Amino acid sequence: MNAARKKAAETMESTDLVIEVLDARIPQASCNPMVEELRLHRQRPCLKILNKSDLADPAATKEWLDYYNSQKNVTAVALSCRTPADVAKVPAMCQKIAPHRGVPVKPLRMMIMGIPNVGKSTLMNALLKKRVAKVGDEPAVTKSQQRLYLNKNMVLTDTPGMLWPKIMHPSDGLMLAVCHAVGVNALIEEEVAAFLAEILLARYPQLLAARYGLKVDGMDRIDVLEGIAQRRGLRIKGGEFDIEKASHVLLQDFRSGALGRISLETPASRIEMLARPIEPTQALAPEDESL
């Protein structure tokens, strides 16, 4: 963590523009405060890419775009790094943000940053139209910085995904876990799935009902997991519901988009969450292997 932060700070000094990749389903929860700190210290402009927007609630995404685009030196866009047409728009956006650079003698120097498993390497490969960065559906695939020319006028630096040392709000840690930004050894799937079920009951009950054939009225989060286990025939020896497998099904359906387009937070829900007091013992420290 410290080594990655130190290297990022050194690279930031010779960077013209930060491309910060966020998860459109949890934009602020997936926004590393260390990235913001490094960027603001050097007064670098930022293009915030709300990736995986095809999986997020369009209404919530619009609210987040309005929120970020109202900030100084920030331009925000929602796209999918897996869609070539979306990625093709990024270089022109970067050039517009930093028009003073972008010629062979003064190439535009861009630094791609973000948390693990948010899509940085996918974006890098799509921009360069070749596989230069390893991509995987697990956190912490990129291990070191890579510096490559996009063209004769633009150079990209890809950085390892970094989580911050202590996550102050437990719901942020749970949202990161739901979206697979935290390694499986740092979480208990049943707890993460129960957290997701509670959000779905409150905001997207119709999607739960449609996907699993549940009558969600009056259900709580445990009822949802038991209902999924019942509908999918997931039982352990003795006939009891297999909550572990049901939890895995719910998380996979969310991550793949099979449940529908869902956002776990909005600017309004973020304000509400920040207004709640935090117990000192509630802060979460991600395990090293998930960084």
**235-244 own/partner pairs: CB under 8 Å, 24+ apart:** 243/190, 244/189, 244/190
**The tokens 């970067």 sit on which residue?**
94
The per-residue pLDDT of the chain, averaged, comes to 88
Is residue 163 included in any domain, yes or no?
no
Could you tell me if 32 and 103 lie in one domain? yes
**Alpha helices (H) along 100-169:** 120-128
User: Which of 123, 158, 193 corresponds to the end of one domain?
Assistant: 158
Q: How confident is the model at residue 139 (pLDDT cuts 50, 70, 90)?
A: very low
Closest-CA residue to 282 (of 270, 272, 290, 273): 273
Which H or E element spans position 151?
A: strand 146-151
Type of residue numbered 174: L
Q: Which residue has the higher pLDDT, 236 or 291?
A: 236
Condensed to tens digits (0 to 9), the pLDDT of residues 27-77 reads 999 999 988 899 998 899 999 999 999 999 999 999 999 999 999 999 999
* Pairing outcome for strands 46-51 and 154-158: unpaired
Could you tell me if 181 and 89 lie in one domain? no
Could you tell me if 239 and 175 lie in one domain? yes
Q: How confident is the model at residue 285 (pLDDT cuts 50, 70, 90)?
A: low
Q: What are the backbone angles phi and psi of residue 167, rounded to the nearest 5°?
A: -90, 110
Tell me: pLDDT of 97 over 90.
yes
Could you tell me if 182 and 271 lie in one domain? yes
Average pLDDT (119-133) is 85
CATH of residue 45: 3.40.50.300
Could you tell me if 106 and 205 lie in one domain? no
Structurally, how many domains does the chain consist of?
A: 2
User: Which of 124, 158, 192 corresponds to the end of one domain?
Assistant: 158
Closest-CA residue to 162 (of 179, 144, 148): 144
d(CA 44, CA 42): 6
d(CA 187, CA 29): 17
What's the burial of 286, exposed, middle or buried (CB within 10 Å: 0-12/13-18/19+)?
buried
Condensed to tens digits (0 to 9), the pLDDT of residues 172-210 reads 999 999 999 887 666 789 999 999 999 999 999 999 999
Could you tell me if 138 and 64 lie in one domain? yes
CATH of residue 277: 1.10.1580.10
Could you tell me if 73 and 50 lie in one domain? yes
What residues pair up with 273 in beta bridges, in sequence order?
none
Is residue 176 included in any domain, yes or no?
yes
d(CA 117, CA 197): 22
| DSSP SS3 for 172 | helix
Could you tell me if 90 and 124 lie in one domain? yes
Domain that holds residue 26: 2-158
